[in-house]
Structure 1
Amino acid sequence: MSQRVVLAYSGGLDTSVAIGWIAQETGKEVVAVAVDVGQGGEDLDVIRQRALDCGAVEAYVADAREEFADEYCLPALRTDALYMGIYPLVSALSRPVIVKHLVAAARLHGADTVAHGCTGKGNDQVRFEVGIGALAPDLTCIAPVRDYAMTRDKAIEFAERENLPIDVNKKSPYSIDQNVWGRAVETGFLEDIWNGPIEDVYSYTQNPADPKPADEVVITFDKGVPVALDGKPVTMLEAIEQLNERAGAHGVGRIDIVEDRLVGIKSREVYEAPGAMALIAAHSELVNVTVERDMARFAGGVRQRWAELVYDGLWFSPLKRALDGYIDDLNEPVSGEIRLVLQGGRAVVS
């Protein structure tokens, strides 16, 4: 069998071009891997076919929405994890589940290298490579944009020259990363922190200033796990999706932050996470009601450190696993119902 590279594939310009670019640079075959964590957009079968049309020898697609909700979003909720006390780890939480599927695909298809589409200035290059190193230290990591100077202009030129089935003219003014837990937006004009976000930036949430009757929702928890909304049983994924809609209709979960990136720079980020923030508001209040005083006092430092570890790409670290044990104990008594009122950009316990 020829040597192979597994590529984290999104279906966009950069990763579509990366298939042929990697093949030329390394002489290896490319296996494309697309993971659905609730980001929406194109059908995964369409994305899979595009990868094959762009030269991938195999294309692996995974519906990881339930897995992402149960194994990654739920631990974050049970921790009430907010990086810098504000950000619910929208992008950071999705990286370890994608890493898990990349490593599984590498084993399945006999690859010795994993590739991703990250640049050299963001958090995700670290998250992917640290995660892959933790699960499969024998695999090599490459990033064509960073390692092979694959600029956007060069990518467009390559796509046109190779006749790739990708629209090279379609370019959003925003850089967006989204999943079922939330949505992250960066763009040129937002890099000036004096410029406020315009409504066009948002997709998961409606304008909180629009007058609307309040929406009241009762969330039932069992040991920190949301199990029902207004008395109707739900999975974790259903709880997030339904509250994304209901809380999002009232503008809940809009976040505008100058964030300390793990690579040592500050970055202005705009997030919207209506379901996540509504669930965290409810869960944190139930913790306050049910958890013994000393356990509750100690939880503050654990939440902060847990969020920092996940933000820094250390999902698979020994300390993160140890803190998970404490969080399990913390949530033992966290059962009951919490009533939230959603209105005017706020989720308020009533």
Structure 2
Amino acid sequence: MSGSKRGSVKKVVLAYSGGLDTSVILKWLQTTYDCEVVTFTADLGQGEELEPARKKAEMFGVKQIFIEDVREEFVRDFVFPMFRANAMYEGLYLLGTSIARPLIAKRQIEIAREVGADAVCHGATGKGNDQVRFELGYYALKPDIKVIAPWREWELNSRTALIDFAEKHQIPIAKDKRGEAPFSVDANLLHISAEGKVLEDPWVEAPDFVYSRTVDPEKAPDTPEYVEIEFRKGDAVAVNGQALSPAALLTKLNELGGKHGIGRLDLLENRFVGMKSRGIYETPGGTILHMAHRGIEQVTLDRGAAHLKDEIMPRYAELIYNGFWFSPEREMLQALIDKSQENVEGTVRLKLYKGSVNVVGRKSPKSLYSLSHVTFEADSVYDQKDAQGFIKLNALRLRLLNRQKQS
């Protein structure tokens, strides 16, 4: 296999975590393609130290190493626009993994242009959604880019084969990687996900050690905690009166949500490639933010606008899940969503308690709520007699239908 593709690629930008898989990929690219490898490691808030990735890349002789903190861009330009839509895939999943992929793809392409690379490479398997998300992003931004997907090309089709390759090429292996990993993990500032191994039987409850961002709701504090979130144009801008940047705000909500066991999800989902898979997701801050955004929309969004948003949301969420962030239809839907958010401002108060988050108050200078219209006391703004004609007109077709049935 070695040297079989020499000359077909001169320089490749690899999405590099520094873990076993991408370290093997790095060496495999060098031996198989005989090309220069440029590494890109993104700090998306996964909570891991990134300097070891630099040292590992240097050990492989990599000259151009990009390690970037993209947390603010991630939340501001990807997470927040998605949350304006209240996006949930299959009614439950807040799309934590899906929304990170277009940002990584975008930076890889930008770096490829900067360093004159003719190819990009990712470490996603040939069975999952991520290969689709990465590559649709690559092709949307640079149509002529060459894409290398090692898991679809190489013969290293097992953990044992990977470790053998690593040992043969003196690639350091963390001790816990020498055995079978109990499950696969992906993390960023929005969520952490776990798949595979101990989670593959959908009837068996996920063991507690799978969860890392949230305490067991049963062991969460016995006293509820209240939090106030302020919004402007549909985006959260402050927590408990303190103005925060997008990434700092989500970090704060993660702390609060994690402490109270909020945001756990056990989902059997439909992958884009056709199979069903089971994932355990923890999205503590995102779950609070989702509920808060719904809360502020309740008081500021017109009924027609709110219902239209809810109608298009599943389509929008599916586009993100399937990897079409850079598609014209996602951008069209985004424009519609963003238009709806012009007056979505104000403050929401939420109650956090043992895995639950509930909106308990909302106020806004742009409020559409009129106490004088809904009061059960006497009022001078609504003539209840008007309802009779409204009901009669709406009942007309039903009455005609019934008469036709009787005849």
Please confirm whether the aligned pair reaches a TM-score higher than 0.5, indicating the same fold: yes
Native 8 Å contact 1:116 1:142 kept in 2: yes
Q: What's the CA shift string for 1:198-232, capped at 9, x where partnerless?
A: 21111110011125211100111111111111111
| Structure 2 counterpart SS, 1:263 | coil
Q: 1:209 aligns to what SS in structure 2?
A: helix
Total equivalences in the alignment: 349
1:294 equivalent to 2:304? Answer yes
- SS at 2:17's partner residue? coil
Q: Which residue of 2 aligns with 1:11?
A: 18
Is 1:150–2:150 an aligned residue pair? no
Partner residue in 2 for 1:188: 197
Q: 2:92 aligns with which of 86, 95, 109?
A: 86
Tell me if the contact between 2:183 and 2:198 (Cα under 8 Å) persists in the aligned partners. Answer: no
Q: Could you say if the C-alpha distance between residues 155 and 206 of structure 1 is closer, same or farther in structure 2, counting changes exceeding 3 Å?
A: same
Other-structure match for 2:317: 307
Name the stretch that deviates more: 154-163 or 7-16: 154-163
- 2:405 aligns with none
Letter in 2 for 1:54: F
Superposition deviation, residue 23 in structure 1: 1.6
Equivalent position to 1:261, from 261, 271, 277? 271
Percent identity between matched residues is 43
Partners of 2:199 and 2:206 within 8 A in 1: yes
TM-score normalised by the chain length of structure 2: 0.83
Aligned residue among 44, 52, 68 for 2:58: 52
Using the TM superposition, give the Cα deviation of residue 169 of structure 1 relative to its aligned residue in structure 2, in angstroms: 4.8
The answer for the alignment partner of 2:295 in structure 1 is 285
State the match for 1:34 in structure 2. Answer: 41
**AA aligned opposite 1:176:** V
Asked which structure has the greater RCO (Cα within 8 Å, sep 6+), the reply is 1
Maintained 8 Å contact 1:17/1:54: no
Inter-CA distance 280–169: structure 2 relative to 1 (3 Å threshold): closer
* Counterpart contact for 1:32–1:51, Cα < 8 Å: yes
Q: State the TM-score, normalized to the length of structure 1.
A: 0.96
> Which residue in 1 is equivalent to 2:236?
226
Alignment RMSD: 1.5
Of the two, which has the highest radius of gyration?
2
Segments of 5+ residues of structure 2 without an aligned counterpart are: 1-6, 361-407
The residue number in structure 2 matching 1:24 is: 31
Q: Is 1:164 the counterpart of 2:151 in the alignment?
A: no
C-alpha distance in 1, partners of 2:118/2:175?
30
Distance 1:142 1:301 in 2: 38
Question: 1:73 aligned to 2:83?
Answer: no
Whether the 8 Å contact between 1:14 and 1:117 is mirrored in structure 2 is: yes
8 A contact 2:11–2:37 mirrored in 1: yes
Cα contact 2:182–2:198 (8 A) shared by 1: no
Please say if 1:319 is aligned against 2:329: yes
CA contact (8 A) 2:230 2:236 kept: yes
Structure 1, unmatched stretches of 5+, are: none
